[in-house]
Amino acid sequence: MKITSARVIVCSPGRNFVTLKIETDQGLTGIGDATLNGRELAVASYLTEHMIPCLIGKDASQIEDIWQFFYRGAYWRRGPVGMTALAAVDMALWDIKAKAAGMPLYQLLGGRSRSKVMVYGHANGKDIDDTVEAVLRYKEQGYVAIRAQSGVPGLASTYGVSKDKLFYEPADADLPTENLWSTTKYLNHVPKLFAKVRDAVGDDIHLLHDVHHRLTPIEAARLGKELEPFKLFWLEDAVTAELQEGFRLIRQHTTTPLAVGEVFSSIYDCQQLISEQLIDYIRTTLVHGGGITHLRRIAALAELYHVRTGFHGATDLSPVTMGAALHFDSWVPNFGIQEYMRHTEATDEVFPHDYHFNAGFLYCGETPGHGVTIDEKLAAKYPYQRAYLPVNRLEDGTLFNW
Ligand SMILES: O=C(O)C(=O)C[C@H](O)[C@H](O)CO
Ligand SMILES: [Mg+2]
């Protein structure tokens, strides 16, 4: 089955998405997500200029060989732009292979390990009371796992806290917005938030929190320790993870479970974190981690060390990633949880899909392939719009982590 054409579709139905479509001489087509928030056109160009010319004429069924060709063959390995582009190719090829087999993708991976995929929703509010209310609303909708983020007193704006309760869109301007940050104010606030949230929601709901890489290991250790009474499901991205051994310090001090990895692009970013059992959940998902072919290796390594998956699933990961991820989640033995932030109606219309949400769980469909397509005519009505993630500064002006 030869690849006859491949093209990149960039569209912005409420936010930017980059999609790769691969066509074959047998009439089968597949699509993959190539969206890298705030750097979309770099991946689009990497695909168009450097990968697509090499793809034409290759046998679409040789997924592993094509993966190795672009990973080893490029000489310049890893990195978010290259691995996102590779992920799009990989996802599209798995889509084609599953369609050729007449099977939903999870069947090719090894079949179902579970009937439904537990997801967590995003509750956020401007202050503690507002956040508690948002958490209770998620609980009413049937969610069994809820992430809670709240504004911090004394800080004008905080990441993850939007005006809209179901969507939040961090890439909010055509030049980066600047936020201000105070670790002291944040650390004083979060334990108070979770005391109230746990009290309101009861013991049966899983609670999660995202620090967004803003603490040092010893600060994260203190936060983890102070949050222990509230039994979090996980504390996410407590510190930046370029220094993998930094997590040892956090681990020595707290039993609060740790999740990290949404910005990772390969197994080498988490090898030490996993093999030293420094984390409990690996967040890297298909689109930024080289696709299904590479995530299978990460999940298999993680399984050895009692680390479970907790795939990234914010709105900047397109429905294509969500569809493929749900097949992976339905199969992978060491599944933990799946992040779920709803896409806008416009996005859902551009990317028709067969997965659905019901009472706290997502269900992948039974259509052959990963179950997501793209309406190209509709996509063309939403041209690319430059949009950046914000940057974050300390109150004295020092540029800080976002
Ligand atoms: O979903 C999360 O946990 C995030 O931290 C979302 C990120 O801000 C977002 O995906 C960045 O592109
Ligand atoms: Mg996060």
**Tell me: the pLDDT tens digits for 101-160?**
999 999 999 999 999 999 999 999 999 999 999 999 999 999 999 999 999 999 987 776
The predicted structure's pLDDT at residue 387: 96
- pLDDT of 164 > 60? The answer is no
159 in catalytic set: yes
- pLDDT of 11 > 60? The answer is yes
ipTM given for this complex? 0.98
> Residue whose CA is closest, atom 8 of ligand 1?
170
> Residue whose CA is closest, atom 4 of ligand 1?
314
The predicted structure's pLDDT at residue 165: 54
Alpha-carbon distance of 179 to 194, in angstroms, equals: 23
Q: How far is the CA of 100 from the centre of ligand 1 (A)?
A: 34
Q: Which of 66-70, 147-151, 155-159, 236-240 has the lowest mean pLDDT?
A: 155-159
Q: Which of 122-136, 170-184, 273-287 has the lowest mean pLDDT?
A: 170-184
H helices of 212-270, where?
A: 217-227, 246-253
- What the chain holds in terms of domains, given with CATH numbers, is 3-104 (3.30.390.10), 109-368 (3.20.20.120)
353 in catalytic set: no
Residue 144, SS3?
A: coil
> Residue whose CA is closest, atom 12 of ligand 1?
37
Index of the ligand 1 atom closest to the CA of residue 341 = 1
Index of the ligand 1 atom closest to the CA of residue 38 = 12
> Residue whose CA is closest, atom 9 of ligand 1?
314
Q: How far is the CA of 265 from the centre of ligand 2 (A)?
A: 15
Beta strands in 54-144 (DSSP E): 117-125
Q: Which of 166-170, 203-207, 302-306 has the lowest mean pLDDT?
A: 166-170
The predicted structure's pLDDT at residue 156: 84
- Helix, strand, coil % (nearest 5) of the chain? 40, 20, 40
Confidence of residue 170 (pLDDT cuts 50, 70, 90): confident
- pLDDT of 235 > 90? The answer is yes
Ligand 1 binding pocket mutation candidate from 159, 312, 317 (most atoms within 8 A of CB): 312
- pLDDT of 288 > 70? The answer is yes
Neighbours of 218 (CB within 10 A): 13
- Whether 291 contacts 91, CB under 8 Å: yes
The predicted structure's pLDDT at residue 402: 84
The predicted structure's pLDDT at residue 171: 87
pTM over 0.90: yes
Average pLDDT, the chain: 96
**Nearest bound ligand to the CA of residue 261:** 2
The average pLDDT across 382-391 equals 96
The predicted structure's pLDDT at residue 162: 62
Q: How far is the CA of 197 from the centre of ligand 1 (A)?
A: 22
